[in-house]
């Protein structure tokens, strides 16, 4: 059967479903690809690891078909950028090639965002920019990992030692990595070394017989979790955050405005949770989601991109960032933050904002979050010791009060920041945040002053320590 005919047949059937259900066709096509990835992933896992070439070709072919089905000939953007990045790494001096790839990938990504804003301002439609964001991370990590291969072992940190590349991969290996269907649409972005270990089977060296353990149960559990998350997606439709930018919203009681921003932004995360969990399930089914075999149990969290409960009950923005878009956070942590000499927090948040695009809401959100991170660190240093015993490890009974306040503040501030991220436009963001009198920004200023004024209590010195000092 003609593949193009098959595409048109499937798209026609999905169009009928979308029309009857009132769901945007692009979103339904995306979910369809994520769902069909499950049986394809199980079939892929049956290909023996000794047939590495076949595994590369099959994984790549499925990924390319997904891309063509969703964005048609825009798939050429990924082919062009990945090919140029490969040639830079292959033929440019290894000492500088990573910097050139970083600049090229980020500039191309930025130009893509500008184009998207020009053609579909404030809109949502499936185009190449989504997969291109994932690809940008892949290309940058690939170039940096290859550069790290010339750094002396004693100068590398543990992460660099685990991910560095000693040689440039073959074209088959590279394109297999670029287009592997697991995570191609919504992430996560794996490192090349992880992908190659998955293809040749060395990823499973800690498992019995050094073979991929059964992924049926963990895949079903992840799929079931995704269905539960779908309830939050439906509730999100009942609390559209766009209401916060209306004139009517500004006339409601202040308590309602604060509550609505908190709940509305919270529910806005569920579509992300849904997409990431759906993608993670197919990665588990294929095997690339395997991490290690420990205490007689297989751990499947390599493809985990979000940990919902630790994120929603986090007591600091650090807890949030470590559990939200986890693989992107690792990229920012290990390839941006760890490699700049000063202003690491600000530059990391700025890189994240540019990677997302150029809507003013992104910059309002990320710069507010950066200020919040610095202030929260100062407060933790100054205030937290008051709720801890002298050993700084044992919590006092009042520590529960501190934990509740830090959770509540972090949760509300997270949703306050995310409001601008979701509304995108500068005027929309200002209207929503000013409707609650910029409380979040006021809290940041007050927190900064508090962190400067309050000093942590002086610890009592133990008798043993005092004795040592006198001798």
Which of 323, 325, 334, 415 is an active site residue? 325
For 106, 125, 131, 223, 386, the CA distances from 355, given in Å and listed in that order, are 7, 18, 12, 29, 40
For 38, 273, 286, 301, 339, the CA distances from 216, given in Å and listed in that order, are 10, 21, 10, 15, 40
Residue 349 tokens read as 């948040």
Q: Which residues contact 341 (CB under 8 A, 6 or more apart)?
A: none
Is 334 catalytic? The answer is no
Q: Which residue's entry shows tokens 């009681």?
A: 253
Q: What is the 3-state secondary structure (H, E, C) of the chain?
A: CCHHHHHHHHHHHHHHHHHHHCCCHHHHHHHHHHHHHHHHHHHHHCCCCCCHHHHHHHHHHHHHHHHHHHHHHHHHHHHHHHHHHHHHHHHCCCCCHHHHHHHHHHHHHHHHHHHHHHHCCCCCCCCCHHHHHHHHHHHHHHHHHHHHCCCCHHHCCHHHHHHCCCCCCCHHHHHHHHHCCCCCCCCCCCCHHHHHHHHHCHHHCCCHHHCCCCCHHHHHHHHHHHHHHHHHHHHHHHCCHHHHHCHHHHCCCHHHHHHHHHHHHHHHCHHHHHHHHHHHHHHHHHCCCCCEEECCEEECCCCCCECHHHHHCCCCHHHHHHHECHHHHHHHHHHCHHHCCCCHHHHHHHHHHHHHCCCHHHHHHHHHHHHHHHHHHHHHHHHHHHHECCCCCCECCCHHHHHHHHHHHHHHHHHHHHHHHHHCCHHHHHHHHHCCCCHHHHHHHHHHHHHHHCCCCCCCCCHHHHHHHHC
Which of 56, 305, 356, 415 is an active site residue? 356
Is 191 catalytic? The answer is no
Residue 120 tokens read as 């579909």
Region of 423 please: left (phi>0), alpha (psi -120 to 50) or beta: alpha
Q: What are the residues facing 395 on neighbouring strands?
A: 388
Q: Which residues are catalytic?
A: 325, 356
């Amino acid at each position: 059967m003609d593949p193009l005919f098959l595409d048109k047949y499937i798209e026609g059937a999905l169009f009928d479903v979308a029309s009857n259900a009132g769901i945007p066709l692009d979103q339904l096509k995306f979910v369809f690809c994520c769902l069909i990835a499950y049986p394809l992933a199980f079939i892929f896992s049956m290909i023996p690891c000794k047939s590495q070439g076949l595994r590369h070709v099959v994984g790549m072919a499925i990924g390319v078909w997904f891309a063509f089905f969703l964005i048609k000939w825009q798939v050429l953007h990924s082919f062009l950028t990945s090919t140029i990045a490969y040639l830079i790494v292959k033929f440019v001096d290894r000492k500088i090639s990573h910097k050139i790839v970083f600049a090229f990938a980020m500039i191309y990504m930025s130009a893509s965002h500008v184009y998207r804003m020009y053609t579909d301002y404030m809109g949502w439609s499936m185009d190449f920019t989504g997969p291109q964001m994932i690809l940008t991370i892949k290309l940058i990590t690939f170039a940096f990992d290859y550069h790290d291969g010339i750094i002396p072992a004693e100068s590398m940190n543990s992460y660099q030692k685990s991910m560095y590349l000693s040689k440039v991969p073959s074209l088959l290996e590279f394109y297999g990595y670029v287009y592997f269907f697991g995570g191609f649409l919504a992430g996560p972005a794996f490192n090349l070394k992880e992908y190659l270990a998955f293809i040749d089977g060395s990823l499973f060296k800690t498992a019995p017989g050094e073979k991929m353990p059964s992924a049926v149960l963990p895949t079903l559990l992840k799929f079931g979790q995704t269905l539960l998350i779908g309830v939050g997606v439906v509730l999100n439709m009942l609390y559209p955050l766009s209401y916060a930018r209306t004139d009517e919203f500004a006339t409601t009681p202040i308590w309602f405005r604060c509550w609505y921003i908190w709940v509305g932004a919270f529910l806005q995360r569920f579509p992300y949770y849904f997409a990431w969990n759906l993608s993670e399930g197919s990665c588990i089914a294929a095997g690339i989601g395997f991490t290690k075999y420990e205490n007689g149990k297989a751990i499947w969290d390599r493809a985990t991109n979000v940990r919902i409960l630790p994120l929603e009950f986090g007591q600091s923005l650090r807890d949030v960032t470590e559990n939200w878009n986890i693989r992107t956070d690792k990229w920012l942590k290990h390839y941006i933050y760890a490699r700049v000499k000063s202003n690491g927090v600000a530059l990391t948040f700025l890189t994240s904002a540019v990677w997302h695009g150029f809507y003013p809401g992104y910059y309002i959100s990320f710069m507010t979050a950066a200020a919040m991170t610095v202030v929260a660190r100062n407060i933790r240093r100054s205030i937290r010791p008051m709720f801890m015993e002298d050993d700084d490890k044992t919590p006092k009974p009042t520590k529960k009060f501190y934990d509740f306040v830090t959770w509540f503040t972090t949760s509300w501030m997270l949703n306050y920041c995310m409001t601008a991220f979701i509304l995108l436009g500068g005027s929309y963001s200002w209207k929503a945040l000013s409707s609650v009198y910029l409380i979040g920004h006021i809290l940041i200023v007050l927190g900064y002053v508090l962190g400067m004024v309050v000093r942590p209590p002086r610890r009592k010195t133990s008798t043993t320590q005092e004795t040592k000092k006198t001798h």
